[in-house]
Amino acid sequence: MTGNNRPLIVKSYIMATVVANLAIVTITLAKLVSSPEIVLLQDIRQSENRFEKLKAVIPAHGIVGYVSDCADKRKARLQLSQYALAPAIIVPSAVQPLVVGDLCDGGLSEQADLMVLLSDFGRGVVLFGRKTR
C-alpha cells in the first residue's frame, strides 16, 4: 500500500463498513415480520381480557392461590395471571381461602377435594373457595 492510495482505500473501507452496518440493521427490521414476541403480546392481551371480571371480585390486596390444569406454558401462564391481577399476590397453591382456576380442560382432579367452586367467569377462568371440613 503506497501513501498516495491510502486515503482512497480508507474511504472505501469506511464506506463499506457503514453500508454493512446499515444492511445489518435493515435485515433485522425485515426479519421482524415473523417475530415470536407478537405471539407473546397476544398472550398478554388475552390474559388481561380473561381475568378482567375476576379482578373486580378478588380482594385488591392479599394473597390469592392459583391452580391450573394446562399442560402448556405453565410458568408463563402463572406469571401472566400475576401481571393481570396485580396488586393481588398470586401464589401457586390450592390452600388459600380464595384460589384462581386457570383451566384448559376443566379438570382439576388433584385439588378437587380441597376447593369449592364459587364463580365461573368463562373462558377457563374460575374462582374457588376453600372447602370447610
Partner 1 sequence: MIVSLIPAIGIPIITGFFLVHLALPNTWRGPRYAVLKWSLASGAGFGLTSCMYFTCLALGYPSFPQLLMIEGATAMSLAAACLMRSRTTSTAPSPASWNSQLHHGPGDWLIPAGFHAILLVAVATFLYRSILNPCGGWDAWGLWNLFARFIYRGGVHWKDGFTNLLATHHPDYPLLLATSVARGWKYLGKEAELVPIAIAFIFTFSTVGLLVSSLTVLKCGKQGLLAGIALLGTPTYIILGSFQYADVPLGYFFLSTFVLLGLQDMMPENPVFSFLAGIMAGLSSWTKNEGLLFLISILAASSLSMFFAGNRNKGPRQLVFLLLGIATITPVVFYFKTFIAPPNDVVSDLGTRALSNFMDPARYLQIAKSFVTLSFDTIPLFALVLFYPLFLNTGMSGCKVCKSTACGFFAALAFTLTGYFIIYLITPHDLAWHLESSMHRLLLQLWPSAIFSFLLISRFPEDALTPTESEA
Among 89, 95, 104, 116, indicate the residue that binds partner 1 (CB under 8 A).
89
**Nearer to partner 1 among residue 25 and residue 133 (C-beta):** 25
* Long-range pairs of 53-61 with CB within 8 A, sequence gap ≥ 24: 53/121, 53/125, 54/85, 54/100, 54/119, 54/121, 54/125, 54/127, 55/84, 55/85, 55/88, 57/119, 57/127, 58/85, 58/88, 58/98, 58/100, 58/127, 59/88, 59/98, 60/87, 60/88, 61/87, 61/88
Among 83, 95, 116, 120, indicate the residue that binds partner 1 (CB under 8 A).
83
Q: What are the residues binding partner 1 (CB under 8 A)?
A: 3, 6-7, 9-11, 13-15, 17-22, 24-26, 28-29, 32, 35, 37-38, 40-41, 44, 60-63, 75, 79, 82-83, 86-87, 89, 91
